[in-house]
Amino acid sequence: MSKRLRIIIGAAAPLAAVILLCLRDHIIGLEKYFPECAFHNATGLWCTGCGNTRSVNDLFHGRILTAFRDNAAMPVIALLLILLYLETVIGISGKDVKLLPRKGAFWGCFLGAFGVYYILRNIFPVLGPVS
């Protein structure tokens, strides 16, 4: 990634974060227009996306543990984005720092762990979204 692009991302990402935080109530207010989960309505099971909207809402309001409870994917994705952003910003100085693993085996295990989580959340109610 070029230094110029890193600088643009380094400046734009915090600005976007501030805008999202300022508009969080309006953004989350749109959830009433989202359709209900057809998979959950048909089967009674939680799909991989069930709880995402609530999880994002919890993250916007600083409720990290509740966000994990609603859907663990959103806090983990937020953490990955923060690490990717930090890699980009640190790269502006010319240092090539890798905060995220690059090996395919790691990401395969990572996705596999989420697959197991999504199965277990349908077996153990404590892992399901907070209703």
pLDDT tens, 77-117?
999 999 988 888 888 888 888 888 989 999 999 999 999 99
Residue the block writes with tokens 């959950």: 40
* Nearest partner of 72 among 86, 60, 56, judged by Cα: 56
The pTM for the full model equals 0.77
The pLDDT value given to residue 112 = 95
pLDDT band at 71 (very low <50, low <70, confident <90, very high): very high
Alpha carbon 119 to its chain centroid, in Å, reads 19
**63 burial level (CB within 10 Å; 0-12, 13-18, 19+):** middle
Tally of CB atoms within 10 A around 120: 12
Residue with tokens 């609530």: 54
Q: Which H or E element spans position 117?
A: helix 104-123
pLDDT (tens digit per residue) in 31-68: 777 788 889 899 999 988 888 888 988 898 899 999 99
Burial degree of 34 (CB within 10 A; 0-12, 13-18, 19+): exposed
Q: Find tokens 């991989």 and name the residue.
A: 48
Would the pLDDT of 127 be above 90? no
Token duo for residue 127: 């892992």
d(CA 106, CA 60) in angstroms, rounded, equals 29
* Residue-level pLDDT at 72: 92
